[in-house]
Amino acid sequence: MQIGVIVNPIAGMGGTVGLKGTDGPDAVAEALRRGAEAQSGPRARRALAILAKRCPRARLRVAAGSLGQCWASDLGLDLDVVSAGPPTGTARDTREAIAVLGAVDMVVFAGGDGTARDVAGALSSGAGMLGIPCGVKMHSGVFAVSPESAGHILADLVEGNGRAGWTDEAEVMDIDEVALRAGRLAPRLYGLARVPVVANRMQAAKGGPRRDSAAALAAAAHECARACEPGALYIVGPGSSAGAFARALGHEPTLLGVDVFRDGECLVQDATAPRIESFLDDRPVRIVLGVTGQQGFLLGRGNQQISADVIRRAGREGLRVLATEDKLSTLSAAALFVDTGDPDLDQELAGFIRVQTDRGRFMMMRVVAS
């Protein structure tokens, strides 16, 4: 297995000095001015040290200098160093480093959500990725829980001992940092990535990995779609969970947008707010939603196309929420948030709602006005 390593040397600098991230050169400069110290290099080294201990002479392809090589040398690893241009302190570094790494089976990177987005965007299709957690923002599902864990996962992959498998369903999320610094949390889904997953190695039968999330989601969506009310307007999306509903109706969903259905027919794809509103009549409105990873947003993040008027027409009873138990278990708070832009509506939506997790399976979740 050919593994590439990339370190985003400025990732995680913002956190220690009270910034919410280091996207963009201004933020980096501000972080340095505030006395930030780079976190990612040493953390990458911690992960690679575990790998080196378990798999001496493991072969890695690394970007030269502070983008990789500096942190991987003298560990007894077999490094194949490729050079990229001098670092610019911008997202371009990551993208160029990926380009010079060439054909690899996976890229292990040290960074945060921003880096993850850059890696995912530049990686050739079919290649995997794994994050060594270093960033301030880590909402994406591509990170190991610690540098050491990342090291063990890498070692498992190199050893080929069967402990690690793969999933293609990891969400790459990022938050709009401008909004975040203004005090508003706005996570967005940027796409899906292939990441290694360590099976819950069981001591015996009573533990073990859970049901395959993709199958559970498909079954939940299928049942939800089967229960479609004739004539009702179904506003679906965005995200892979709501998308499963569109698939169950036989349509390919717009992953990052909102699609609208009635009686199994797709009325419009990737609809805007006015377009959605144009379909409103006296028939019922149902909104099929997923949940944003970690933050647990139901409405108001990445789906602002669905306006307060439309939501009010549906009401809490008209929301159909799909999310697997795996997804719900990653939420940082055991609640779902709504921010429709209309505080009164947010209050009306607050309370407990049923989230469908599989065929015939629901989880009660608290809805909170954000």
Which residues are at the interface with other proteins (CB under 8 A)? 50, 53-54, 145-146, 148-149, 151-152, 161-163, 165, 199-212, 216, 325, 328-329, 334, 351-354, 357-358, 360-366
Nearer to other proteins, 30 or 148 (CB): 148
Burial of 74 (C-beta count, 10 Å sphere; 0-12/13-18/19+): exposed
Smallest distance from the beta carbon of 64 to other proteins, in angstroms?
Answer: 28
> What is the rounded CA–CA span in Å between residue 282 and residue 176?
37
| Residue reference for tokens 């089976």 | 105
Closest to 324 (Cα-Cα) out of 240, 235, 264, 268: 240
Nearer to other proteins, 210 or 283 (CB): 210
> What is the rounded CA–CA span in Å between residue 54 and residue 58?
9
Smallest distance from the beta carbon of 355 to other proteins, in angstroms?
Answer: 9
Nearer to other proteins, 59 or 362 (CB): 362
Nearer to other proteins, 247 or 361 (CB): 361
Smallest distance from the beta carbon of 275 to other proteins, in angstroms?
Answer: 33
Nearer to other proteins, 253 or 290 (CB): 290
Smallest distance from the beta carbon of 53 to other proteins, in angstroms?
Answer: 6
Structure-derived torsion over alpha carbons of residues 104, 105, 111, 113, reported in degrees to the nearest 10: 120
Smallest distance from the beta carbon of 216 to other proteins, in angstroms?
Answer: 6
Nearer to other proteins, 219 or 271 (CB): 219
Smallest distance from the beta carbon of 359 to other proteins, in angstroms?
Answer: 9
- Residue 7, CA distances (Å) to 91, 110, 171, 278 in order: 12, 5, 20, 48
